[in-house]
């Protein structure tokens, strides 16, 4: 089976080969064109000089002078032969280049290779009174040119380009094989663990090594927890079955226990299906974790500077003021993004079990949107994209602020990643209007837009235009699920290719309470 790693490697190799092949073809065409122009200039120059210098010597029947002129013009290696014919005696003089490169005289009018160019030799003289007479044709010159030099140069260039492409492909394959192992080796172990979990006949839990301290380590630890949960449920089912076989009198109670256990198993199976989604957690939590790490680094650097000033005894009030501002901003960013990362992981569970379990509160919408966008500044500062907020004040929501922050974050970062080319300038506008008990939020960009064949698929899971470049296809799917299931609203998208895209969200100011979801959530095992 041709796996993802192999397909990624093949894709990169094909792209690099195509790019190098196209550039090499263009370079080959340009080189051939330049060589043809140079050859044409050489031919024109040789004929011009011969037509200028030979007529007078041929008129005087000065064979020595004609031989010298012909020999001088035979210096370029592209010339195969030069033959000078007199109108009366035929072949008057000629030079031929042998296969070893030496030049010899032509004694007879034998066939000569190469392409021949024939030109008449016209002698012009002045009469006694200085009037110009009509030119007299005194002979003709036949020059044979060879394309061997051009063909050899083009062939050498083709060989060099082929070797260059092969070397770059080998280097790319080796680099991808080494770099992709960092990600795909843990994923392969996780895949084997999932397959073993689905086909294992025993209830023994064989946990995967979870000593990694990165995002994949968190995924593996989550998988091990699911295994333990499933083992617990299987054990409870077996106990219920044993009790049912031991006593017919306890059949009703055993069936009741079995029904409850089956419900728990259904929840566990939904959690197990999360294994198909958790591979995207590593990418999705990079942004909040990265922002928190950057803020912590800034705070550490500021703390070290203040500590150095204190130890040196030259601390100033302005230093303390700047430090307090930096510390306040950094801690706020760390807290906000740590909460966002925790909520993001929690959202995966929400999608898997289709429940609503986040606490809700009343909050002012414009200030909250400003706070979310502010927490994204470490990411936005690396781009030339401006984010504008157009929201009336005093719009109060009774809803789930954490989930709303995730919706705004996913939509904003989706625009940053997909709507604009790297280092391109752009603008994202988050506009809000209130319509009675509902609000309408539009997230609009002036980027490159969405292709018509993708518009109906943007909210589907695992649909992405950046496959192999960090995209998981889960961001907009999470937005769709949160809007439909948690906020009781809707999200639509419209776009014209090349003119940007607009995501329209409609939701009630007071999020309705899903009683069935609360009841199901109360039955989840602790």
Which residues on adjacent β-strands are paired with residue 207?
A: none
Distances (CA, A) of 172 to 8, 111, 161, 371, 468: 11, 53, 16, 43, 15
Stronger pLDDT, 278 or 422, i.e. the higher one: 422
Give the strand order in the sheet containing 103-105.
103-105, 90-97, 79-86, 136-145, 115-123
Instruction: Report residue 357's pLDDT band, with 50, 70 and 90 as the boundaries.
Output: very low
Give pLDDT tens digits for 393-452.
989 999 988 888 888 988 998 898 888 888 889 999 999 999 999 999 999 999 999 988
Residue 361 neighbours by CB distance under 10 Å = 10
Q: For residue 212, how many other CB atoms are within 10 A of its CB? A: 14
Q: What is the pLDDT of residue 121?
A: 85
Q: Looking at residue 266, what is its pLDDT?
A: 35
Q: Quick: pLDDT tens for 170-180.
A: 898 888 778 77
**By percentage, how much of the chain surpasses pLDDT 70?**
81
CA separation for the pair 495, 445 (Å, rounded): 10
For the segment 372-399, the average pLDDT, to the nearest whole number, is 87
The Cα 57–Cα 92 span in angstroms is 11
In DSSP terms, which residues pair with 137 in a beta bridge? Answer: 122
Question: What contacts 65, CB < 8 A, 6 or more positions away?
Answer: 57
pLDDT band, residue 364 (cuts 50/70/90): very high
pLDDT tens-digit readout, 501-524: 999 999 999 998 765 444 444 444
463 has pLDDT over 80: no
User: Which neighbouring-strand residues pair with 361?
Assistant: 399
Give CA separation, 39 vs 42, 69, 96, 149, in Å.
Answer: 5, 20, 19, 10
What pLDDT does residue 205 have? 57
> What is the phi/psi pair of residue 125, to 5°?
-135, 160
Where residue 490 falls among pLDDT bands split at 50, 70, 90? Answer: very high
Using an 8 Å Cβ cutoff, are 348 and 341 in contact?
A: no
pLDDT at 131 over 60: no
Mean pLDDT of 261-270: 42
Q: How many CB atoms lie within 10 A of CB 174?
A: 11
Q: How far apart are CA 207 and CA 464, in angstroms?
A: 32
Label residue 500 by pLDDT band (50, 70, 90): very high
SS3 119: strand
Q: Which residue has the higher pLDDT, 438 or 209?
A: 438
What is the C-alpha to C-alpha distance for residues 230 and 223, in angstroms, rounded to an integer?
A: 11
pLDDT of the residue at 210: 67
3 state SS of 317: helix
Q: What is the mean pLDDT of residues 368-384?
A: 83
Tokens of 424: 């391109």
The C-alpha atoms of residue 48 and residue 121 are separated, in whole angstroms, by: 10
Greatest mean pLDDT range, 219-228, 260-269, 306-315, 396-405 = 396-405
Average pLDDT, the chain: 79
Mean pLDDT of 206-230: 72
> Which stretches within 397-514 are classed as H helix?
401-418, 475-481
Residues sharing a CB contact under 8 Å with residue 414, sequence separation 6 or more, in sequence order: 475, 476
Per-residue confidence (pLDDT) for residue 366, from 0 to 100: 93
Q: The tokens of 397 are what?
A: 């929501």
Cβ(457)–Cβ(463) below 8 Å = yes
The pTM of the full predicted model, rounded to 2 decimals, is 0.36
């Amino acid at each position: 089976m041709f796996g993802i790693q192999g397909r990624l490697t093949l894709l990169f190799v094909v792209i690099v080969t195509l790019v190098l092949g196209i550039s090499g073809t263009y370079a080959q065409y340009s080189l051939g064109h330049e060589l043809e122009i140079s050859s044409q200039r050489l031919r024109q120059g040789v004929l011009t000089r011969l037509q200028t210098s030979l007529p007078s010597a041929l008129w005087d029947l000065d064979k020595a002078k004609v031989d010298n002129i012909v020999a001088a013009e035979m210096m370029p290696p592209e010339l195969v032969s030069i033959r000078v014919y007199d109108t009366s005696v035929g072949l008057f003089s000629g030079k031929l280049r042998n296969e070893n490169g030496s030049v010899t005289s032509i004694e007879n009018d034998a066939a000569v290779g190469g392409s021949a160019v024939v030109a008449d030799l016209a002698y012009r003289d002045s009469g006694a009174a200085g009037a110009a007479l009509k030119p007299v044709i005194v002979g003709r010159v036949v020059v044979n040119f060879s394309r061997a030099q051009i063909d050899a140069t083009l062939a050498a260039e083709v060989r060099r380009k082929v070797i260059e492409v092969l070397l770059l492909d080998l280097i790319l394959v080796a680099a991808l094989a080494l770099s992709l192992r960092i990600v795909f080796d843990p994923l392969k172990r996780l895949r084997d663990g999932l397959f073993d979990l689905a086909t294992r006949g025993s209830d023994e839990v064989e946990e995967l090594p979870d000593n990694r301290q990165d995002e994949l380590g968190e995924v593996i630890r989550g998988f091990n927890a699911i295994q333990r949960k499933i083992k617990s449920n299987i054990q409870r089912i077996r106990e219920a079955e044993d009790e049912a076989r031991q006593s017919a009198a306890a059949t009703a109670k055993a069936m009741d226990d079995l029904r409850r256990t089956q419900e728990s198993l259904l929840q566990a199976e939904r959690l197990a299906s999360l294994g198909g989604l958790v591979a995207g957690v590593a990418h999705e939590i990079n942004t909040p974790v990265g922002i928190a790490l950057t803020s912590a680094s800034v705070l550490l650097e500021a703390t070290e500077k203040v500590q150095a000033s204190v130890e040196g005894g030259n601390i100033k009030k302005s230093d303390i003021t700047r430090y307090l501002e930096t510390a306040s901003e950094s801690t706020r960013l760390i807290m906000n993004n740590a909460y966002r990362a925790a909520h993001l992981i929690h959202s995966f569970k929400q999608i898997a079990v289709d429940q609503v379990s986040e606490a809700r509160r009343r909050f002012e919408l414009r200030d909250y949107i400003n706070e979310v966008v502010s927490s994204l500044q470490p990411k936005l500062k690396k781009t030339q994209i401006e984010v504008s907020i157009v929201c009336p004040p005093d719009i109060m929501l009774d809803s789930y602020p954490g989930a709303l922050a995730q919706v705004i974050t996913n939509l904003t970062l989706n625009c940053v990643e997909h709507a604009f080319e790297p280092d391109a300038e752009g603008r994202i506008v988050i506009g809000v209007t209130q319509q009675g008990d509902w609000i309408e939020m539009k997230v609009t960009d002036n980027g490159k837009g969405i292709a018509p064949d993708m518009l109906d698929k943007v909210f589907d899971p695992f649909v992405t235009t950046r496959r192999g470049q960090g995209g998981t296809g889960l961001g907009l799917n999470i937005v769709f699920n949160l809007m439909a299931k948690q906020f009781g609203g809707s999200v639509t998208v419209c776009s014209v290719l090349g003119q940007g895209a607009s995501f329209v969200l409609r939701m009630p100011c007071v999020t309705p309470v899903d009683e069935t979801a609360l009841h199901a959530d109360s039955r989840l095992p602790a």
